[in-house]
């Protein structure tokens, strides 16, 4: 592993080596719940952090479609590491797109993997939206903003040097800032014990009257800062990509079992066909061609992750239900897609389907 060259495209054969290294560690990682420090170092060695950042910061600026192809391969190998990578990338892209002069300090260390950053923005998008009071409030001061409150879900907050988060002012406008975690008043709760992906070390991060100087500001104050396009993603396709990566891992297992068990052949083939059609649609969307809507794809990707993982468990029988077997892990991980940044229409459609209400 000494002389690894950075991957130059998703067709680079060395991506197979990286995926093999990641896959070899996945089950033990899931059982221990430990932070995947070694896997994240591997991503750095193989230049994965370069994919997502502009050349001026040492990145390779891969196209949206190539990033999606890369994510798909990585998520088949290790969903937990790839999920952490999406949150890290979300932070890096917002820092790169934002107005902060501090980006010249932050990005060179992020692109190499020397530093870890993450995002805590769900309280502005999909979490606690039914509550009257913002989870994280900001007050403008002479040279910046004071943040008070918490961000409920932050992946790897304990391990981050920087957290990209948003806060709401009394007049309803919002800011987005890159907050150094060593500022007085920033603290991460111990990670939550989760149904799956516990090694993502996700938990709340608290901000106790934290003074954030103006030069850490990425955007705002404006109405609905998350709609400002800062750190814009590839049409919200990441979550579907990771769900399809998980589905493919489970289908591969089922197909291998089907080689020796006739009764598995037809279900394995049907799931494989369904998954490959969804992957084609994903790559079309990532390449700017509208083969279906991103929400339709998300619904199908969620459904495939759930169906394929449960098919794998059915084939694996009791042995698959023992901790450490991948089939049980896939089932738990598939549930994540029901809650991770799930658009309300997709959640509604899933509920109707579960209730047998049809189309
Ligand atoms: C493992 C994991 C990792 C994550 N990592 C990150 C991350 O790194 N960064 C990030 O920004 N986000 C992250 N998220 C957040 C995620 O994207 C969603 O925002 C989150 O799953 C929303 O769930 P919630 O429980 O906060 O939703 P909420 O909407 O706050 O629901 C919480 C509870 O409130 C009640 N409730 C909900 N809606 C209503 C209503 N309309 N009326 C009355 N009661 C209601 C329900 O009882 C519900 O259980 C992560 C989530 C998970 C699970």
What residues does 150 pair with on adjacent strands?
Answer: 206
Nearest-angstrom CA–CA distance, 26 and 324: 10
Indicate which CATH number applies to the domain containing 130.
Answer: 2.40.110.10
> Distance from the CA of 35 to the center of ligand 1, in angstroms?
22
Specify the pLDDT at position 233: 52
Tell me: pLDDT of 298 over 60: yes
Tell me: pLDDT of 2 over 70: no
Q: Are residues 22 and 42 in the same domain?
A: yes
Whether residue 354 is contained in a domain is answered as no
Indicate which CATH number applies to the domain containing 101.
Answer: 1.10.540.10
What sign for the dihedral angle of Cα 101, 105, 111, 117?
A: negative
Number of folded domains that form the chain: 3
Which domain, by its residues, includes 23?
14-112
Whether residue 256 is contained in a domain is answered as yes
Q: What is the DSSP letter of 62?
A: -
Please give the average per-residue pLDDT across 6-10, as a whole number. Answer: 96
Among candidate residues 112, 132, 167, the one where a domain is terminated: 112
Q: Is 342 helix (H, G, I), strand (E, B) or coil?
A: coil
Least confident range from 123-127, 247-251, 352-356: namely: 123-127
> Distance from the CA of 336 to the center of ligand 1, in angstroms?
11
Give the atom of ligand 1 at the shortest distance from the alpha carbon of 119. 9
> Distance from the CA of 46 to the center of ligand 1, in angstroms?
33
Does the beta carbon of 335 sit less than 6 angstroms from any atom of ligand 1? no
∠ CA 195-200-204, rounded to 5°: 85
Q: Are residues 166 and 222 in the same domain?
A: yes
Angle between helices 262-286 and 294-320 (to 10 degrees): 150
Q: Whose CA is nearest to atom 27 of ligand 1?
A: 127
178 backbone φψ class: left, alpha, beta (φ>0; ψ -120 to 50): beta
Whether residue 9 is contained in a domain is answered as no
Q: Are residues 341 and 264 in the same domain?
A: yes
**What is the 3 state secondary structure string of 240-252?**
HHHHHHHHHHHHH
Does the beta carbon of 31 sit less than 6 angstroms from any atom of ligand 1? no
Please give the average per-residue pLDDT across 330-356, as a whole number. Answer: 94
> Would you state the structure tokens that stand for residue 76, as one six-digit string?
């088949």
Nearest-angstrom CA–CA distance, 179 and 291: 39
Count of C-beta atoms within a 10 Å radius of residue 322: 10
Q: Are residues 101 and 129 in the same domain?
A: no
Whether residue 196 is contained in a domain is answered as yes
Q: Give the containing element (helix H, strand E) for 260.
A: none
Each residue's pLDDT tens digit, 97-117: 999 999 999 999 999 999 999
Nearest-angstrom CA–CA distance, 103 and 241: 28
Tell me: pLDDT of 128 over 90: no
Count of C-beta atoms within a 10 Å radius of residue 284: 15
> Distance from the CA of 238 to the center of ligand 1, in angstroms?
18
> Distance from the CA of 275 to the center of ligand 1, in angstroms?
28
Q: Are residues 32 and 122 in the same domain?
A: no
Specify the pLDDT at position 9: 97
Q: Are residues 222 and 147 in the same domain?
A: yes
Do 118 and 181 touch, CB atoms closer than 8 A?
no
Q: Are residues 100 and 38 in the same domain?
A: yes
Does the beta carbon of 14 sit less than 6 angstroms from any atom of ligand 1? no
> Would you state the structure tokens that stand for residue 109, as one six-digit string?
């260390």
Among candidate residues 163, 194, 228, the one where a domain is terminated: 228
> Distance from the CA of 127 to the center of ligand 1, in angstroms?
4
Q: Are residues 339 and 252 in the same domain?
A: yes
> Distance from the CA of 335 to the center of ligand 1, in angstroms?
14
Please give the average per-residue pLDDT across 325-344, as a whole number. Answer: 95
Please give the average per-residue pLDDT across 13-35, as a whole number. Answer: 96
Specify the pLDDT at position 242: 98
Q: Whose CA is nearest to atom 7 of ligand 1?
A: 154
Does the beta carbon of 122 sit less than 6 angstroms from any atom of ligand 1? yes
What's the number of CA atoms in the CB half-sphere (13 Å) around residue 164?
29
∠ CA 153-157-158, rounded to 5°: 135
Mutate to test the pocket of ligand 1, among 130, 159, 231, 344 (most ligand atoms within 8 A of CB): 130
Q: Whose CA is nearest to atom 30 of ligand 1?
A: 128
Whether residue 3 is contained in a domain is answered as no
């Amino acid at each position: 592993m000494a002389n690894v060259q950075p991957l130059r495209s998703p067709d680079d054969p060395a991506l197979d080596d990286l995926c093999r290294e990641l896959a070899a560690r996945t089950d033990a990682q899931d059982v221990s719940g430990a932070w995947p420090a070694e896997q994240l170092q591997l991503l750095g060695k193989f230049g994965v952090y370069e994919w997502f950042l502009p050349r001026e910061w040492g990145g390779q600026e891969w196209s949206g479609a190539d990033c999606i192809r890369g994510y798909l391969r990585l998520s088949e190998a290790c969903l937990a590491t790839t999920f952490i990578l999406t949150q890290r990338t979300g932070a890096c892209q917002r820092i790169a797109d934002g107005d902060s002069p501090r980006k010249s300090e932050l990005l060179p260390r992020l692109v190499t993997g020397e530093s870890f950053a993450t995002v805590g923005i769900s309280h502005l998008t999909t979490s606690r939206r039914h509550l009257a009071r913002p989870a994280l409030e900001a007050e403008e001061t002479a040279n910046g903003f004071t943040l008070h409150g918490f961000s409920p879900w932050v992946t790897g907050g304990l391990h981050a040097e920087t957290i990209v988060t948003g806060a709401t002012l009394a007049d309803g406008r919002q800011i987005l800032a890159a907050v150094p975690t060593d500022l007085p008043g920033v603290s991460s709760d111990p990670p939550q014990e989760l149904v799956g992906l516990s090694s993502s070390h996700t938990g709340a991060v608290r901000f106790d009257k934290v003074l954030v100087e103006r030069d850490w500001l990425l955007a705002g104050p404006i109405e609905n800062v998350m709609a400002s396009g800062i750190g814009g993603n590839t049409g919200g396709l990441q979550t579907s990509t990771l769900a399809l990566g998980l589905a493919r891992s489970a289908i591969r297992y089922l197909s291998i079992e089907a080689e020796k068990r006739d009764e598995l052949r037809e279900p394995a083939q049907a799931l494989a066909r369904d998954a490959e059609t969804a992957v084609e649609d994903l790559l079309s969307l990532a390449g700017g061609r509208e083969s279906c809507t991103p929400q339709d794809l998300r619904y199908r990707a969620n459904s495939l992750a759930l169906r394929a993982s449960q098919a794998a468990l059915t084939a694996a029988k009791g042995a698959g239900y023992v901790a450490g077997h991948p089939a049980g892990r896939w089932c738990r991980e598939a549930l994540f897609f029901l809650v991770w940044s799930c658009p309300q229409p997709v959640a509604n459609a899933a509920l109707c389907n579960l209730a047998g209400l049809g189309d």
